[in-house]
Structure 1
Amino acid sequence: MKRLSFNIGNKKLPVWKQNLHVLWFGNFVAGLGFSLITPFMSLFIDTLGKFSRTELNLWSGVTFSSTFLITAIVSPIWGKLADQHGRKIMMLRASLGMAIIIALMSFVTNVYQLIALRTLQGVFSGFISNSNALLATSAPKEKSGQALGTLTTGTVTGTLLGPLFGGVIAEAFGYRVPFLITGSLLFIAFLLTVFFVHEEFTPVAKKDMVNASSLYKNLKYPHLIMGMFITTLIVQASNNSVNPILSLYVRQLMNNGDGVALVSGIVSSLPGIATLLAAPRFGAWGDRIGTHKILLGGLIFGVIVFIPQAFVTNVYQLGFLRLLVGISDAAMLPQIQTLLAKYSPYEATGRIFSYNQSFQAAGNVVGPMLGSGVSGIFGYSAVFISTSLLVAANFILAFFNTREIRDEDK
């Protein structure tokens, strides 16, 4: 198929810039696809049957987690296939598959159908990771950092605005319409990728692929790398533990008033806003004083800001504390990525990050299940207390796993 091109005036865009524009939109929509339902999924499930509070919390946790459970399992498989067959075809698979699956969610009549479709959504993961890999290989070396940094803002912006858009659309048109809109946007991303993304692909021979055990042995600090995988899992579990109950907690704080979906969307978006603003500053600070120090500080701050969320009396207090959670996130997730990049061998960086993606997805499974389980037994406030304990355990783990770096600095 002939590749189409963008033109600015009479000037033709370089291939890598054209790829960047298209993939930015695709990452933005993929981010929307995963976060759009956050503020109203529990409320939507509540319309699909008659559930007790415990049942509603349980089904919400299963629905949130199912996508990420499958993503954790299939990510390494898709990564290996991408090395053998190309990144573009993996992005086409992911965008078309998600477009169909998410659109079908608007037609479900019971929670079992919704869970089945959320599970299939996990099978069609991989657009974001493969778009990063494709852009990294197509952009000039001197422009790769700028290109990948710009591409990352697409994912962050989509994830950031997703809950807000979802809340606004659900409040105005009902819970089913956001699924149709997201599916349509993903189909547009699929078409743009077909016609406007170009890849010059050289497959990796099977004989040149190092197995996982050999890769582990060749790491300079294997305990650090494995520790960061687990830290990623716990960070994601902590961040997502409140997702199944957030809209229900907001509804409780608002005394079942109007506009719950909209307010939930705003509250859900606040951590993303803070992360977007604070992450670059923490990154630069980490370069000066040590990335691991920023990570440990972020974990301590996370413990501090989760506890009072259990005792708020209105949504304004909850919103402010969720904003502070975003600052904590800005000090954690980017620093983990930086440590993995710094202490991974160049030829294995892609695989290291694919493994980390699996742990990240696993955290997205554990978190909602933890939140729904704890809230079903002890109530919504207990979720924030248990999450603070989880973050505290993560600090202890990260402190010991970064010991070799601290010794290196002495």
Structure 2
Amino acid sequence: MSRTSESLLQAPAIGKPRLLSYAERNEDHWRRNLAVCVFGSFTTLVSLSMLLPFLPLYVRQLGVEAPGAVIQWSGIAFGATFLGTGLTAPLWGRLADRYGRKAMLVRAAVGMAIVMSLIGVVHSVHQLVALRLLAGLVGGYSSASTVMVGSQAPRERAGWALGVLSTGALAGNLIGPLVGGFLPGWIGIRGTFFAGGAMIAVAALLTIFVVKEDFSPADQALHRAASKASVTTRKTNYAVVAALLVTAMMVLLANMSIEPIITVYIGSLGVHADHLTRVAGLVMACSAFGSMFTAARLGALADRIGSWNVIIGCLVLTGLVMIPQAFVVAWWQLAALRVLMGMTLAGLLPSIAKLARQSVDESKTGQMLGYLQSAQFSGQVVGPVIGGQIGVMFGLDAVFFATGTLLVACAGLAQWARSR
């Protein structure tokens, strides 16, 4: 028997040896691994989001000239990564349960570093879209980090740990477009992709040499066998799981529904055309900015008062903050409300991830968190489409009313799921 297999068994004073859980076996590693995962999530999301300001320019460089086609291909190229990640997240989660969480982190970091660098040498827009899709299929460092942190952190600290991880991801999404606004002017657009690949390569090296994990397939097989034989094995409550997946999707859907109309909406508030793009970018960043301040705090609060309480409270508050955005008369009022919305949104995903981890047996944790990531990416893809359609059919104000009502309805769903 291997050393790790021997450490899997802990003999209590009386009775049979007890199997140590994955979290117990990694209790000396989870804080260090959390720090690396936060850094890796930050750098990968900076690299993925920094192309927002110059993506249309790059598409034009690749031979697309018609303005409408430039916009269309830019949207396809940007969304391809999220589509790829959403499709493969459950697969990588299942493989993480079988072969270890660190292996999935290394796979994601190395794959994304290579693909990001290759994007800098494409010669057609079709190659750009294909590589952006490939980045999603083989990447997903942030998703893999959620699986590792959610699995390793002690149950009483899982909310805080996932909140800290969420803060790093939010910071990456916030800073990425700012980096993308300045870096191409210094090293060119293609050089910016090489720089992004280098940043992810640093995260890959840290993951390889710093992240520690007590895991072996033999240990997991032993634990799965013991779980099947145990009468106390946690039974999956599929109603609760479904409610968590739907809520996670709705959270991202509500947050992203404003994206297609926000520039037009801000223009209707009297912002001059010369400043419209800059102001719209600032307002878009406000929700992530607000979330950075409260994600870890709300995660810790979930550890103290319970995740369901935080989820229900944040859903109601976010829904209520959404409604006044339909009545603003100045862009700075919208920005302030988006900050408040981000502060209340921040408690949702870490708390949902914590409950998702606890809703299934340990041997299925990675797979469950993978499905959760897919639900989030589904909301991220569908949200802008639905928001745009509502804005066209019923007016821009209707988007805020619809998403606010949707979030409050999700609070009712969460209350129902808690009683199951």
Give the alignment's TM-score, normalised by structure 1: 0.74
In structure 2, give the amino acid aligned to 1:400.
L
Q: Is contact 1:61-1:244 (8 Å) kept?
A: no
Q: Is 1:80 paired with 2:94?
A: yes
Q: How far off its partner does 1:178 sit?
A: 4.3
Q: Is contact 2:150-2:353 (8 Å) kept?
A: no
Provide Cα deviations, 1:143-164, integer angstroms capped at 9, x if missing partner.
8887666555433432343333
State the partner residue of 1:235: 251
CA RMSD of superposed structures (Å): 4.2
Q: Is 1:367 paired with 2:380?
A: no
Question: Following the alignment from structure 2 to structure 1, what is the Cα–Cα distance between the partners of residues 149 and 122?
Answer: 37
Closer/same/farther in 2, CA of residues 309 and 103 from structure 1, 3 Å limit? farther
State the partner residue of 1:90: 104
State the partner residue of 2:178: 164
In structure 2, give the amino acid aligned to 1:322.
R
Q: Is 1:256 paired with 2:273?
A: yes
Matches within 5 A, 1:132-171: 132-134=146-148, 150-169=164-183
Closer/same/farther in 2, CA of residues 334 and 290 from structure 1, 3 Å limit? same
1:187 to 193, 198, 201: 201
Gaps of 5+ in 1: 1-13, 212-216
In structure 1, give the amino acid aligned to 2:173.
T
Q: How far off its partner does 1:226 sit?
A: 0.5
Q: Is contact 2:308-2:414 (8 Å) kept?
A: no
Gaps of 5+ in 2: 1-27, 229-233
State the partner residue of 2:284: 268
Matches within 5 A, 1:11-410: 19-38=33-52, 41=55, 48-52=64-68, 58-107=72-121, 111-134=125-148, 150-169=164-183, 178-203=192-217, 204-205=220-221, 208=224, 218-220=235-237, 222-244=238-260, 246=262, 254-257=271-274, 260=277, 263-283=279-299, 291-309=307-325, 315-371=331-387, 377=392, 382=396, 385-386=398-399, 388-403=401-416, 405=418, 407=419
Q: Is contact 1:57-1:372 (8 Å) kept?
A: no
Which moved further from structure 2: 91-100 or 342-351?
A: 342-351
Question: Following the alignment from structure 2 to structure 1, what is the Cα–Cα distance between the partners of residues 33 and 223?
Answer: 30
Secondary structure class of the residue paired with 1:218:
coil
State the partner residue of 1:9: none
State the partner residue of 1:6: none
Closer/same/farther in 2, CA of residues 75 and 317 from structure 1, 3 Å limit? same
Which moved further from structure 2: 137-146 or 193-202?
A: 137-146
Secondary structure class of the residue paired with 1:257:
helix
Q: Is contact 1:278-1:330 (8 Å) kept?
A: yes
Q: Is contact 2:257-2:399 (8 Å) kept?
A: no
Q: Is contact 1:163-1:268 (8 Å) kept?
A: no
Q: Is contact 1:75-1:357 (8 Å) kept?
A: yes
In structure 2, give the amino acid aligned to 1:233.
M
Question: Following the alignment from structure 1 to structure 2, what is the Cα–Cα distance between the partners of residues 294 and 255?
Answer: 40
Of the two, which has the highest radius of gyration? 2
Q: How far off its partner does 1:271 sit?
A: 1.2
Question: Following the alignment from structure 2 to structure 1, what is the Cα–Cα distance between the partners of residues 52 and 265?
Answer: 13
Closer/same/farther in 2, CA of residues 296 and 130 from structure 1, 3 Å limit? closer
